[in-house]
Amino acid sequence: MLKGKSVVVTGSTSGIGLGMARAFCAEGANVLLNGFGDAAEVERLRAGLAAEFGVQVVYSPADMSQATQIESMIALAEAEFGAVDILVNNAGIQFVAPVDEFPTVKWDAILAVNLSSAFHAIKASLPGMKRRGFGRVINIASAHGLVASPFKSAYVATKHGLVGLTKSVALEVAAKGITVNAICPGWVLTPLVEKQIDDQARVNNLPREEVVQKIILERQPSRAFVRIEEIAAMAVFLAGPGAASITGTSLSVDGGWTAQ
Ligand code: NAD
């Protein structure tokens, strides 16, 4: 369905980003991978996707907290593929602490990676999208872009910010063949969440399964993790022709979390 299209997925060496990169490759799109990781492991991922799906896959190690590196990443994708048709702002980090104890350095890092990176990547990608009269921007926000939890002030602030950025940019480009949307996942079992389960198990001295059911999934009425493939399927749908008139909105994939 997306044959010949070019996709940039930030933070795609792991978790949801990697799942989306894989889904876009499966649709025939060329994909730029980005994120941290062991160089040999990242190269194995890159070459594996290219070989399995017969598409072009390139890797950029750009740090999403650095504006100039984000600009270089978009320039690399444009040079390699000739375009960035679909931009998925996915890179994200988390830190949990009461706001009056929240380390300022963590606050600054979360704002940079979760929110400002999307601004820089959008700013760098839009001129090409406007020239070609086609573009899809997909921002990976969170249920925490719509509702809050305590002790996650920076994360919640950035995810609400992403939802606002989504609406504003969507209005700017609505008549130019470019859509801008946010996906708001509930709990998805990825390395980001594995770490939170381990932390909670340690702090509360509980077995992992009890942490998952009583603490992690307590607010997700389905009482099950959202699968990475479900988020990837939503991203592919938003990138396709069936979603041409969907713009400026937030799509929850959260097992009912934000219906409460
Ligand atoms: P993850 O930790 O598995 O993956 C994060 C990716 O971002 C990795 O590839 C990592 O290398 C990359 N990354 C981190 N800092 C970076 C930086 N400075 N520069 C470049 N890359 C960087 O996390 P995940 O759970 O797959 O999360 C992906 C996105 O989904 C995040 O924005 C997260 O907030 C969002 N999200 C996750 C969940 C969940 O339950 N897992 C729920 C809602 C939203």
DSSP for 47-107, written as a single string: HHHHHHHT--EEEE---TT-HHHHHHHHHHHHHHHS---EEEE---------GGG--HHHH
Pocket-forming residues, ligand 1, beta carbon under 6 Å? 11-17, 34-37, 63-65, 90-93, 113, 140, 142, 185, 187-188, 190-193
Query: Does one domain contain both 137 and 206?
Result: no
Answer whether residue 94 is part of any domain. yes
Query: Does one domain contain both 49 and 178?
Result: yes
What pLDDT was estimated at residue 74? Answer: 99
Ligand 1 atom closest to residue 155's alpha carbon, by position in its atom list:
34
Contacts of 240 by beta carbon, 8 Å cutoff, 6+ apart = 1, 2
Query: Does one domain contain both 197 and 89?
Result: no
Query: Does one domain contain both 122 and 243?
Result: yes
> Can you name the residues that pair with 7 across neighbouring β-strands?
31, 86
What would the mean pLDDT of 83-92 be, rounded to a whole number? 98
Q: Is the pLDDT of residue 224 over 90?
A: yes
What confidence tens digit (pLDDT) does each residue in 10-33 have? 999 999 999 999 999 999 999 999
What is the distance between the alpha carbons of residues 258 and 162, in angstroms, rounded to a whole number? 17
Answer whether residue 258 is part of any domain. no
Contacts of 216 by beta carbon, 8 Å cutoff, 6+ apart = 187, 193, 196, 197, 200
User: Which DSSP category does 214 fall into?
Assistant: I
Query: Does one domain contain both 93 and 147?
Result: yes
Q: Is the pLDDT of residue 117 over 90?
A: yes
What pLDDT was estimated at residue 192? Answer: 85
Query: Does one domain contain both 232 and 119?
Result: yes
Atom 6 in ligand 1: residue holding the nearest Cα: 11
What would the mean pLDDT of 46-73 be, rounded to a whole number? 98
Q: Is the pLDDT of residue 196 over 90?
A: no
pTM of the model as a whole: 0.98
What would the mean pLDDT of 202-227 be, rounded to a whole number? 94
Q: Residue 192: which domain range?
A: 187-225
Query: Does one domain contain both 63 and 88?
Result: yes
Cα(175) to ligand 1 centroid in Å equals 31
CATH at residue 118: 3.40.50.720
Q: Which residue, chain included where needed, has tokens 């750009």?
A: 62
Indicate the top mutation candidate among 192, 195, 215 to test ligand 1's pocket, ranked by most ligand atoms within 8 A of CB: 192
Strand, coil or helix: what is 148?
coil
Across all residues in the chain, what is the average pLDDT? Answer: 97
Query: Does one domain contain both 78 and 204?
Result: no
What would the mean pLDDT of 180-190 be, rounded to a whole number? 98
Cα(206) to ligand 1 centroid in Å equals 26
Q: Is the pLDDT of residue 150 over 90?
A: yes
Answer whether residue 259 is part of any domain. no
What would the mean pLDDT of 70-76 be, rounded to a whole number? 98
Answer whether residue 1 is part of any domain. no
Ligand 1 atom closest to residue 14's alpha carbon, by position in its atom list:
9
Query: Does one domain contain both 146 and 205?
Result: no
CB burial of residue 60 (10 Å; 0-12, 13-18, 19+): buried
Query: Does one domain contain both 38 and 63?
Result: yes
Catalytic positions, written as ranges: 155
Q: How many CB atoms lie within 10 A of CB 245?
A: 7
Contact 81, 6 (CB under 8 A): yes
Q: Is the pLDDT of residue 1 over 90?
A: no
Q: How many domains does the chain have?
A: 2
Query: Does one domain contain both 81 and 200?
Result: no
What would the mean pLDDT of 124-143 be, rounded to a whole number? 98
Indicate the top mutation candidate among 22, 34, 36 to test ligand 1's pocket, ranked by most ligand atoms within 8 A of CB: 36
